[in-house]
């Protein structure tokens, strides 16, 4: 496919791509000639990478992220960089400095975030595969809202080298695709040890999805269907869980008390890490230069005020506060204690069951501007953040619709058992298609 390009323009209704590339490798491999979209916080040599932020406008990395290297080594065509919430901070892709992405299922609604551009590109049929990143649900949320498949791998299973950091201890690069088979293929390409990433684990991913789940124990925590979950979404997800039961799985209702603390622990942790990570964007090393005629303090303050969007500034301030003298023990230390409780709950449950199942998101995709206050937006992440706090794998697969809008079924698994999570998702997908 020499000369491959993507016919897409920013004025088109989905605005999934920030920029198209059309760069194709001459190598033969598992992805020969297949177009793959890359989220705009993953470094691409010679191609602008902005994290959808004005503060990085014009930044061109001198190197490829490890995952991009691996795509090229397998012959993939890098179709373009996809839109996102600025620095991955959001659930809707409305926080992009370059404009929102629209949901191809219903353009009046959000596609989810922060990997909304990648999900929309797949749902709109622009590309079959895309890379997203997941800090608190940023792969699974848009997958659910757009009706595609998104996998958050075990923390460390995919190299983070070349990912522009937001919250190091939580985020993970993962595959997005129209179906489980394709997501599994992409996972096999990007996973594996990378000596340039100190968090990388030496566990290659060589797997063929198996739909046989007879005898598997699937736990369903009551908290996954608690306050805030739309009853219509709950009903559709229970139908999906019943399908898995008909395929021979045993459904076990259980409790996960730490869910009461998970969201607060997540937001204290991620904002604290963001405060530290984003300190490097000072108008000197990255992005448009600061005004050197002013004092350093004035130019630094001005550059960050003008370069960062409202949500990014909010999270930096929250994180700086929680790490400040006198408040570290009151907030950050307690958040880490709560995080340990989440991990302990997963460990306890996985001694009794093989995977956990429930809704990916508490609602279907909402309309633009419908959730205007930050707290209501943060509450949308309640079902996805536990997997990030514990570092375990989780997948979202389409399991039905409510008034024509997609609903996602989320499957979480034991640490390093990404293959089993994929198998359950594949079994469900095969059951629906027959």
Sketch the domain layout of the chain as residue ranges.
Answer: 1-434
pLDDT the model gives residue 306: 87
Q: What mean pLDDT value characterizes the chain?
A: 93
Q: Does the pLDDT at position 408 exceed 80?
A: yes
Q: What percentage of the chain carries pLDDT values higher than 70?
A: 94
pLDDT the model gives residue 387: 98
Yes or no: say if 81 and 40 are a contact pair by the CB < 8 Å rule: yes
Positions marked catalytic: 39, 114, 138
Q: Does the pLDDT at position 21 exceed 50?
A: yes
What are the tens digits of pLDDT across the range 34-93? 999 999 999 999 999 999 999 998 899 999 999 999 999 999 999 999 999 999 999 999
Full-model pTM: 0.94
- The C-alpha atoms of residue 274 and residue 259 are separated, in whole angstroms, by 23
Burial class (CB in 10 A: 0-12, 13-18, 19+), 323: middle
* Helix and strand totals (H; E) in the chain: 12, 11
pLDDT the model gives residue 11: 44
- The C-alpha atoms of residue 346 and residue 369 are separated, in whole angstroms, by 35
pLDDT band at 287 (very low <50, low <70, confident <90, very high): low
Q: 23 φ, ψ to 5°?
A: -95, 120
- Paired with 158 in beta bridges are 191
pLDDT band at 10 (very low <50, low <70, confident <90, very high): very low
CATH number assigned to the domain with residue range 1-434, chosen from the 4 options 3.30.70.360, 3.90.1150.10, 3.30.1360.30, 3.90.1300.10: 3.90.1300.10
Tokens of 242: 């019943």
- Compute the average pLDDT of residues 393-420: 98
What are the tens digits of pLDDT across the range 296-348? 777 778 788 888 999 999 999 999 999 998 889 899 999 999 999 999 999 99
pLDDT the model gives residue 24: 59
Q: Does the pLDDT at position 368 exceed 60?
A: yes
- Paired with 394 in beta bridges are 152, 412
pLDDT the model gives residue 342: 98
Q: Does the pLDDT at position 23 exceed 70?
A: no
- The C-alpha atoms of residue 100 and residue 197 are separated, in whole angstroms, by 32
């Amino acid at each position: 496919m020499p000369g491959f390009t993507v016919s897409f323009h920013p004025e088109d209704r989905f605005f999934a791509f920030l920029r198209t590339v059309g760069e194709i490798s001459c190598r033969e491999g598992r992805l020969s000639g297949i177009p793959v979209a890359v989220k705009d916080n993953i470094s691409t040599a010679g191609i602008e990478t902005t994290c959808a932020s004005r503060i990085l406008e014009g930044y061109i990395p001198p190197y490829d992220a490890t995952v991009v290297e691996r795509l090229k080594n397998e012959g993939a065509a890098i179709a373009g960089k996809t839109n996102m919430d600025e620095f991955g901070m959001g659930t809707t892709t409305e926080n992009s400095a370059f404009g929102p992405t629209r949901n191809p299922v219903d353009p009046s609604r959000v596609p989810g975030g922060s990997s909304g551009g990648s999900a929309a590109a797949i749902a709109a049929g622009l590309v079959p595969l895309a890379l997203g990143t997941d800090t608190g649900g940023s792969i699974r949320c848009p997958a659910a809202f757009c009706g595609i498949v998104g996998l958050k791998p075990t923390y460390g299973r995919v190299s983070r080298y070349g990912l522009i950091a937001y919250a190091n201890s939580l985020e993970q690069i993962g595959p997005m695709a129209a179906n489980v088979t394709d997501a599994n293929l992409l996972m096999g390409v990007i996973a594996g040890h990378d000596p340039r990433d100190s968090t990388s684990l030496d566990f290659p991913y060589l797997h063929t999805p198996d739909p046989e789940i007879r005898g598997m124990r699937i736990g369903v925590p009551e908290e996954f269907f608690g306050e805030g979950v739309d009853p219509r979404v709950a009903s559709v997800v229970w139908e999906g869980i019943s399908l898995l039961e008909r395929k021979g799985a045993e459904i076990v209702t259980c409790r996960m008390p730490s869910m009461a603390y998970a969201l607060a622990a997540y937001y204290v942790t991620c904002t604290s890490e963001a405060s530290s990570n984003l300190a490097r964007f000072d108008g000197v090393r990255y992005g448009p230069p600061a005004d050197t005629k002013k004092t350093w303090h004035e130019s630094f303050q001005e550059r960050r005020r003008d370069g960062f969007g409202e949500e990014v500034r909010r999270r930096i301030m929250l994180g700086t506060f929680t790490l400040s003298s006198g408040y570290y023990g009151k907030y950050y230390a307690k958040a880490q204690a709560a995080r340990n409780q989440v991990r302990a709950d997963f460990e306890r449950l996985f001694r009794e069951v093989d995977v956990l199942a429930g809704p990916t998101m508490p609602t279907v995709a909402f309309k633009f501007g419908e959730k205007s206050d930050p707290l209501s937006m943060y509450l949308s992440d309640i079902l996805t953040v536990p997997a990030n706090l514990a570092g375990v794998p989780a997948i979202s697969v389409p399991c039905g619709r409510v008034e024509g809008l997609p609903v996602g079924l989320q499957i979480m698994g034991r640490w390093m058992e990404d293959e089993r999570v994929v198998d359950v998702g594949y079994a469900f997908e095969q059951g629906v298609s027959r």
